[in-house]
Amino acid sequence: MKNICLTVCLVVVSCFFANAQSYTQYFDGADTSVENSILVRLDTASSNIWQIGAPHKVLFDTAATVPNVLVTDTVNDYPTNNVSRFTFTIVPWTSWGLLAIQWKQKLDMDPHRDGGVIEYSIDTGGTWQNVFNDPHVFNFYGFLPTNRDTLPNGDFAFSGTDTAWQDVWLCFDMSWLSLNDSITFRYTFESDSVDNHKEGWMIDNLMAHVSLMHPVKEVDKKDYMNVYPNPTKGIVNVEFQKIHDFHIIEKMEFLSADGTVLRQWTNIPTKFWFDTSKYADGLYFLKVKTNIKSETIPIVVKKD
């Protein structure tokens, strides 16, 4: 495949900054300029099947915004034993608030076998983090729960089939970043050795939004703070209700039963996890202070 480097624009939306700019790009290039864009780069490997163009398949037959999409081959089903990638980098202009990546997608992949993995890196590709279940992901929604899967190699991914255009949001809490830190996103399609004549992954209307407030999908939880599993054998997840405002854990402490502080964190996102596997079985306490309220939760470590 020829090397394709497509300019895709960065959409910046702010509820507080009057001078915020707005950009759009639907893989057609008409609205693109170097000054107000980011670059989507397709992997240059000859086996890379990501292409930009008008889709001509059975299920993938039209773009969300015609004529073009980003798709795993515009004509052919995806091959076996394939790994194909594209990346793009965003440099948020603030280290506070939320960064939301938004796109439309359709899926047609073998469940539990083939899938679409999304990762991010803050060290220019030195290390990659899967966005599913990442503590810095503020929210991730817009896709069907049945299309969230785990591949044989352990990667969390999109898989299965959904032929309706889904409007997907991937929202990051940026308070843990330094000003002008770049975030590189990598979308990877993976297939195994079994060919069931599937069409793959199709993406359109890719955008980004940076704001101090962001319309998120409210999570219906009875309690303000959700800590699980409890008892735990090791990993403890901490999640708070999503609110339509700036929201952060200002301070969190993990204490022994006698009140000794064993671990401490400051200024972390409201979706977080930590490991207790090095501590002995017994009763502990998690003391959490957000910018909204404070709570203390008993934690039972029980590895047997």
Cα–Cα separations (whole angstroms), residue 295 to 238, 253, 275, 285, 290: 12, 11, 20, 10, 9
pLDDT at 111 over 50: yes
Distance, CA of 265 to CA of 249 (rounded, Å): 9
Burial (0-12, 13-18, 19+ Cβ within 10 Å), 59: middle
**Between these two residues, 3 and 256, which has the higher pLDDT value?**
256
pLDDT at residue 87 greater than cutoff 70: yes
DSSP-derived secondary structure for the chain: ----EEEEEPP---SS-TT-------SS-TT--GGGEEEEEE--STT--EEEE---SSS--S-SSSS-EEEE-SSSPPPSS-EEEEEEEE--S-SSSEEEEEEEEEEE--TTTSEEEEEEESSTTSS-EESTT-TTEEEEESS-GGGEEE-TTS-EEE-SEEEEEEEEEEEEE-TTSPTT--EEEEEEEE--S------EEEEEEEEEEEESS---PPP--SSSEEEESSSBSSEEEEEE---SS---EEEEEEEETT--EEEEEEEE-SEEEEE-TTSPSEEEEEEEEESS-EEEEEEEE---
Task: Tell me what pLDDT residue 223 has.
Answer: 63
Highest mean pLDDT among 39-48, 131-140, 218-227: 39-48
> What pLDDT is stored for residue 244 in this prediction?
56
Please name each of the domains of the chain with its CATH number: 5-211 (2.60.120.260), 225-301 (2.60.40.1930)
Q: Tokens 């000054």 map to which residue?
A: 35
| pLDDT tier, 116 (very low <50, low <70, confident <90, very high otherwise) | very high
Picking from 193-202, 203-212, 229-238, 260-269, which range would have the lowest pLDDT averaged per residue? Answer: 203-212
Q: Tell me the pLDDT tens digit for each residue of 173-195.
A: 777 777 678 899 999 999 999 99
Res. 49: pLDDT tops 50: yes
Average pLDDT over residues 280-293: 86
Q: pLDDT at position 163, please?
A: 96
Nearest residue to 158 (alpha-carbon basis) of 103, 202, 109, 85? 109
Stated length of the chain: 304
Q: What pLDDT is recorded for position 27?
A: 78
Q: What is the mean pLDDT of residues 69-92?
A: 94
Query: pLDDT > 90: what percent of the chain?
Result: 42
Q: Residue 36 — very low, low, confident or very high, per pLDDT cuts 50/70/90?
A: low
Given a cut of 50, whether residue 109 has pLDDT beyond it is yes
Cα-based torsion angle of the residue sequence 33, 102, 216, 119 in order, rounded to the nearest 10 degrees: -110
- Given pLDDT bands bounded at 50, 70 and 90, which one contains residue 246? low
Query: What is the average pLDDT value for the chain, to the nearest integer?
Result: 81
User: Are the CB atoms for 183 and 120 separated by under 8 Å?
Assistant: yes
